[in-house]
């Protein structure tokens, strides 16, 4: 495996680029664009993404209400925590290890054909657990979703611990109530931007965007981080559709130029539909920077701007490939695609909002795109491509993904290309596991965010395009984590 991996993709397995690809601004200073007074341009032949409408509207989200928001339930959690701590005191190491494993799997540690047979007896619960483990390794799984699943399974076990189970359920419900309040605030913000109503060609995916952030970190203390990342991911989704589907190449050049200049006057050169998007991005990012300056005394406008510039340059390169009919080599594609998947942007934004004080050395280290961030973004990209390459994105005329690039370059079938990409993803996980231990300039919180981003990507794209399309799995995940509580 290793030899073929090295020979087929020498760059991809070797040293990563230090920065996002530098794209010469082909039309800067040479193109004058007069914006129409109408948002739609009848004279421009535009593609359509044919995206499904939003499943969750603001009126419904504002009606969310939970009984698990009061002090009464918080006191119950504290009492149960005390009882569990007493249960941990003992002289049976194996029982203690089993208890620790259960606490982790139940989500409260922060405070197929294969069957196991004994004689003629088949343990149905163990069969469920084995099948679950065979689908995806535990350390690849989204922690919060795994906790929800394991609570359901643990409840059916004969040797269940009722006190631990009650603690897990109550804690889950309390956190879900907190997440619902955050989602209601975000829904009001999204409605006020007008993007979902005005830019009908783009995906309206606020709840799905929030689901990502719950996967990245669900703990109560990271509420500000979740809100910030949800706004970023919702904006990314709209901008991605502009670059992938709706915008002309000249318009995309102008939009990239406007973000690079980060000047409100640059908005004048944009068509109307881009103006509202640029202004939403400009205001949201500046508000994020203002909050950090107010609370921490750090000016991070340039840091936040850089993450967006790097991302949009990578989007623009992909747009140029598409409009010129060019299919890049696998290596060429991956040099750009690990940036365009948004991993660096999300990780850097999250690092600014997970603590009360920005760590300048950690921020600078993240901005150098260290190996841990690079390999994690590679996994993110490959999992996304496995989930999206053969369906909607390619049907609407999107740029070739890693699957198609490998097929085109090597003359192999889609099945062979899929298997190759899966092997690359497994190798990339080995790199991640190595660098997560070796890295010394990142806090455990920052490392956890990067790893959880990858785990959430596995969850979202395991059964197809769970972010762009309304597959039943993503809807089920959202319902189980954000809307359906445990009965106590």
Domains of the chain (ranges plus CATH)? 2-31+49-65+170-483 (1.10.600.10)
Higher pLDDT, 66 or 483: 483
pLDDT at 164: 86
Number of residues in the chain: 488
* Banded pLDDT at 482 (limits 50, 70, 90): very high
Answer whether residue 208 shows pLDDT above 70.
yes
DSSP helix, strand, coil percent of the chain (3-state; round to 5): 70, 0, 30
DSSP 8-state secondary structure symbol assigned to residue 51:
P
pLDDT confidence of residue 152: 87
In percent, how much of the chain has pLDDT > 70? Answer: 74
Q: Half-sphere exposure of residue 453, counting CA atoms within 13 Å on the CB side?
A: 32
Q: How far is CA 141 from CA 99, 107, 261, 381, 431, in A?
A: 20, 12, 39, 16, 17
User: Does the pLDDT at position 184 exceed 60?
Assistant: yes
Looking at 118-122, 177-181, 281-285, 476-480, which range is the least confident one?
118-122
What pLDDT is stored for residue 394 in this prediction? 56
Tokens 């040479």 belong to residue: 30
Q: Is the pLDDT of residue 407 over 60?
A: yes
> Under 8 Å CB-to-CB from 2, ≥6 apart: which residues?
427
- Please say if the pLDDT value at position 371 is more than 50: yes
CA 362 to CA 381: how far, in whole Å? 24
Pairwise pLDDT comparison (159 vs 38), residue with the higher score: 159
Tell me the percentage of the chain whose pLDDT exceeds 90: 56
Task: Tell me how far apart the alpha carbons of residues 309 and 289 are, in angstroms, rounded to a whole number.
Answer: 16
Give the per-residue pLDDT at 396. 61
CA distance 259 to 249: 16
* Span 97-139, pLDDT tens digits: 566 666 666 666 666 332 333 334 445 665 666 566 556 677 8
**Whole-number Å distance between alpha carbons of 272 and 431:** 45
* Lowest-confidence region among 21-30, 64-73, 266-275, 389-398: 21-30
pLDDT at 116: 32
Calpha distance 326→203 (Å, rounded): 26
> Which residues make beta-bridge pairs with 39?
none
Region of residue 339 (phi > 0: left; psi between -120 and 50: alpha; otherwise: beta): alpha
What are the pLDDT digits (tens) for 347-368? 999 999 987 677 888 999 999 9
pLDDT one-digit tens code per residue, 297-349: 999 999 999 999 999 999 999 999 999 999 999 999 999 999 999 999 999 99
Q: Which of 21-25, 284-288, 409-413 has the lowest mean pLDDT?
A: 21-25
Provide mean pLDDT across the span 467-475. Answer: 73
pLDDT at 34: 33
Write down the pLDDT at residue 150: 87
More confident of the two residues 81 and 466? 81
- pLDDT at 288 (0 to 100): 96
Q: How far apart are CA 320 and CA 243, in angstroms?
A: 10
CB 245 within 8 A of CB 396: yes
Report the mean per-residue pLDDT for the chain: 81
């Amino acid at each position: 495996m290793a030899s073929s991996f090295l020979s087929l993709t020498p760059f991809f397995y070797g040293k990563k680029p230090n920065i996002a690809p530098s794209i010469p601004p082909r039309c800067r200073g040479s193109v004058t664009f007069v914006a129409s007074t109408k948002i739609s341009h009848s004279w421009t032949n535009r593609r359509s993404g044919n995206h499904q409408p939003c499943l969750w509207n603001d009126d419904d989200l504002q009606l969310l209400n939970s009984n698990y928001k009061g002090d009464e339930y918080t006191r119950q959690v504290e009492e149960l925590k005390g009882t569990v701590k007493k249960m941990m005191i003992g002289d049976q190491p194996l029982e203690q290890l089993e208890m620790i494993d259960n606490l982790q799997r139940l989500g409260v540690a922060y405070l197929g054909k294969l069957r196991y047979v004994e004689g003629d007896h088949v343990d149905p619960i163990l069969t469920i657990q084995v099948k679950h483990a065979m689908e995806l390794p535990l350390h690849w799984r989204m922690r919060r979703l795994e906790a929800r699943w394991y609570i359901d399974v643990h409840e059916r076990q004969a040797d269940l611990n009722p006190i631990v189970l009650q603690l897990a359920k109550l804690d889950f419900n309390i956190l879900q109530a907190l997440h619902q309040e955050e989602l209601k605030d975000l829904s009001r913000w999204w409605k006020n931007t007008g993007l979902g109503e005005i830019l009908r060609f783009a995906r309206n995916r606020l709840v799905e965007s929030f689901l990502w952030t719950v996967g990245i970190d669900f703990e109560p203390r990271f509420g500000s981080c979740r809100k910030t990342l949800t706004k970023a991911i919702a904006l990314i989704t709209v901008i991605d559709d502009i670059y992938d589907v709706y915008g002309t190449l000249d318009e995309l050049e102008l939009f990239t130029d406007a973000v690079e200049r980060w000047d409100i006057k640059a908005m004048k050169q944009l068509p109307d539909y881009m103006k509202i998007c640029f202004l939403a991005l400009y205001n949201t990012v500046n508000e994020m920077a203002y909050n950090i300056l107010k609370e921490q005394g750090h000016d991070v406008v340039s840091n936040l701007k850089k993450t967006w510039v790097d991302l949009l340059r990578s989007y623009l390169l992909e747009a140029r490939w598409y409009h010129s009919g060019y299919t890049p080599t696998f290596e060429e594609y991956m040099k750009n695609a690990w940036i365009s998947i948004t991993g660096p942007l999300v990780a850097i934004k999250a690092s600014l909002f997970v603590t009360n004080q920005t760590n300048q050395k950690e921020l600078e280290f993240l901005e150098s795109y260290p190996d841990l961030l690079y390999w994690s973004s590679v996994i993110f990209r490959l999992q996304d491509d496995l989930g999206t390459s053969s369906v909607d994105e390619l049907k609407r005329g999107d740029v070739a993904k890693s699957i198609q690039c490998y097929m085109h370059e090597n003359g192999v079938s889609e099945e062979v290309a899929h298997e190759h990409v899966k092997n690359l993803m497994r190798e990339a996980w080995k790199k991640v596991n190595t660098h997560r231990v070796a890295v010394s300039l990142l806090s455990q919180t920052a490392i956890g965010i990067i790893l959880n981003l990858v785990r959430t990507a596995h969850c979202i794209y395991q059964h197809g395009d769970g972010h762009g399309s309304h597959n039943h799995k993503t809807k089920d995940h959202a319902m189980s984590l954000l809307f359906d509580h445990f009965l106590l």
